Amino acid sequence: MEQTSARLISLKGNRIRSLSRVEEKMDADKKFEKINWEMLQKFMDKNPEMATFLGFHDPYDKLLGDASLKAVYENLELLEEWRRKIEENIDYDSLSDNNKIDWKVLDRAHNLWKFGFYERRMHERDPEGLEGIGSLIFIMLLREYAPLEKRVEGIVSRLEKLPLSLEQFRTRFEKSLQVKLWTEIAIEKCQRIPPFFQFLVGATKGRISDQLHQRLQKAVANLNQSLKEQLEWLNSLLPNAKTEWAMGKEKFEKLLELRQLGMTAGEIYQLGVKYLKELKEERARLAQEIAPGKSVEEVLKQIQENAPKTFEEVLDLTRNEVERAKQFLTDNEIATVDERDVLHVVETPAFIAPLIPFAALWIPGQFEKVQEGIYTVTRPKDAKDLSKDANYASIPSTAVHEGYPGHFLQTARSNRSGSFVRHMGAGTETIEGWAHYCEEMMREHGFLTSKESRLMQVNEMIWRAVRIIVDVKLSQGEMGFDEAVDMLIKETGMSKNGAVAEVRRYTQSPGQPLSYLLGKHLILQLRDEVKEKMGAKYDERFFHDTMTENGYLPIALLRDVFDMRLAEM
């Protein structure tokens, strides 16, 4: 504010005119931000679960939103109202550059939601209705935003409301559009959730008041009947379920276009093929250097044998590597770290493990005072797969991807600095591309040095190249489920259980699996551009800090942010 007035005074003759123009600009920005906050409030009132995830707890933590089809539609209507209000009240050209980007984000989010609602129709095709509440309770239990007693009060209130919510949810499927494969996945998750609720009862005993604990026990006992009904209902859906789940060529192409990736499905596929070829050559070369005369499979096996013997050791080692990576960033001036942030490393809860074969990050809530993330590692179904999935050469890379400077750092920094609208940018290629980019970037800086870890890294890059190929082919309906599983096993040496869990997830998230390597590719391109524009002034930390403080803007919009920042310099 002060800077603005100082500049106005120096304009002398033009003072009055400039003042009104600046005021007009400020006015537009203020109005724009006010509408955004009002609409966020409306969304949270309708979707209290979202409020909890974002970090607003009172009164939301005790509520569950309507789960019926009508409510899904009303959410889309809210987004339409948001867009309309902005278009009617704000002149785009009067906005600051920052808010112009947020406007574009809202526009893009609206188009993607419309596509989701009218064309993808997951809300009528995937009958999985428990993962959301499971995840919600999991974060309410682990994020320490309030005393445990208060958090469990919210959990209990929500569990008491769950039977009604499941009834509402089931009404979405009256048109029998459910997909068979997804119904089977939903059945597995439904069977796995009761032990999670039981765990909740055990984990809180003696840590909360007796009165509340009794209420929790009663709520969990009452849920048994309702979960039994849900399971029977899911089984009853199977005979009429659709065997086809692929999105199809036309819709997939449309999705890529709405995501503004700047490439067609065919071009992305070719990129995957090119990377796969080059990376396999590099893998073969490295294997020869490590153990001359041995095959790639033999060398990989040899590296994998050098691994922790128990799952608990894997968790401990992961914790150490997260800390080491965090310190490394500061010591080497790679990215800015905030010491107040907290990252827990725990086992993946069983109810969600069918979709997370290896590891995942549960991001911190945007408005939470302390940025607290939960890094979950999945215990393999079969103990003999342990070393295959988590060995000394691969654990550090995973810690970089999920923790520092990957998903956790990116989210924690963005939550602190960006507007909440930026997160609606949901550029999957920025989220996964960034985490994948970090794996190799950290190696360039010396975080990992052995040839063995490089070989594992190249192998994981091959996995991401296969994801591009499989994602495009599966989504377009040109590849079957088993074919995709076979390709993952053949090209990456992944365990069968791991590959099946992977492909299950791919079927439900077209366009997500291709985002890792494509995103990294686009980030490297952007880095080259920024380097060229900055010349001798280029600074790696500036690049990384700017990348991580802008929510999940798609790369196309991040380019605008860099141009803006460079112009200010």
Nearest residue (CB) to Zn ion, 321 versus 432 = 432
Stretch that binds Zn ion, among 55-63, 249-257, 289-297, 424-432 (CB under 5 A): 424-432
- Is residue 355 at the binding interface for Zn ion, with CB under 5 A as the rule? no
Stretch that binds Zn ion, among 375-383, 408-416, 426-434, 526-534 (CB under 5 A): 426-434
Stretch that binds Zn ion, among 27-35, 322-330, 429-437, 484-492 (CB under 5 A): 429-437
CA distance 209 to 198: 17
CB of 432 to Zn ion, least distance (A): 5
CA distance 424 to 282: 38
Site string for Zn ion, 379-418 (x = CB under 5 A): ----------------------------------------
CA distance 366 to 40: 13
CA distance 283 to 348: 31
Nearest residue (CB) to Zn ion, 272 versus 406 = 406
CB of 532 to Zn ion, least distance (A): 29
Nearest residue (CB) to Zn ion, 213 versus 521 = 521
* Structural contact between residues 409 and 322, judged by C-beta atoms closer than 8 angstroms: no
Nearest residue (CB) to Zn ion, 103 versus 506 = 506
What is the DSSP-derived secondary structure letter of residue 116?
I
- Is residue 435 at the binding interface for Zn ion, with CB under 5 A as the rule? yes
Nearest residue (CB) to Zn ion, 231 versus 356 = 356
Amino acid at 280: K
Query: How many residues comprise the chain?
Result: 569
CB of 238 to Zn ion, least distance (A): 32
C-alpha neighbours within 13 Å on the C-beta side of residue 455: 26
CB of 62 to Zn ion, least distance (A): 32
Nearest residue (CB) to Zn ion, 183 versus 397 = 397
What is the DSSP-derived secondary structure letter of residue 62?
G
> What Å distances lie between residue 171 and 70, 165, 233, 516, CA to CA?
10, 10, 11, 36
CA distance 347 to 311: 9
Size of the site for Zn ion (CB under 5 A): 2
- Tokens matching residue 149: 């007693």
What is the DSSP-derived secondary structure letter of residue 245?
-
- Is residue 514 at the binding interface for Zn ion, with CB under 5 A as the rule? no
> What Å distances lie between residue 280 and 130, 276, 461, 463, 502, CA to CA?
40, 6, 10, 11, 21
Stretch that binds Zn ion, among 102-110, 131-139, 271-279, 430-438 (CB under 5 A): 430-438
The residue nearest Zn ion at its CB is: 435
CB of 359 to Zn ion, least distance (A): 8
Nearest residue (CB) to Zn ion, 145 versus 552 = 552
Residue 236: which H helix or E strand, with range? helix 210-237
Q: What angle do CA 76, 45, 87 make, to 5 degrees?
A: 45
CB of 460 to Zn ion, least distance (A): 11
Nearest residue (CB) to Zn ion, 179 versus 360 = 360
Strands 342-347 and 372-377, by their bridges, are: parallel
CB of 407 to Zn ion, least distance (A): 6
* Structural contact between residues 39 and 85, judged by C-beta atoms closer than 8 angstroms: yes
- Tokens matching residue 91: 């002149």
CB of 547 to Zn ion, least distance (A): 15
CB of 243 to Zn ion, least distance (A): 30
CB of 375 to Zn ion, least distance (A): 11
CA distance 27 to 20: 10
Q: Which residues of the chain form contacts with Zn ion (CB under 5 A)?
A: 432, 435
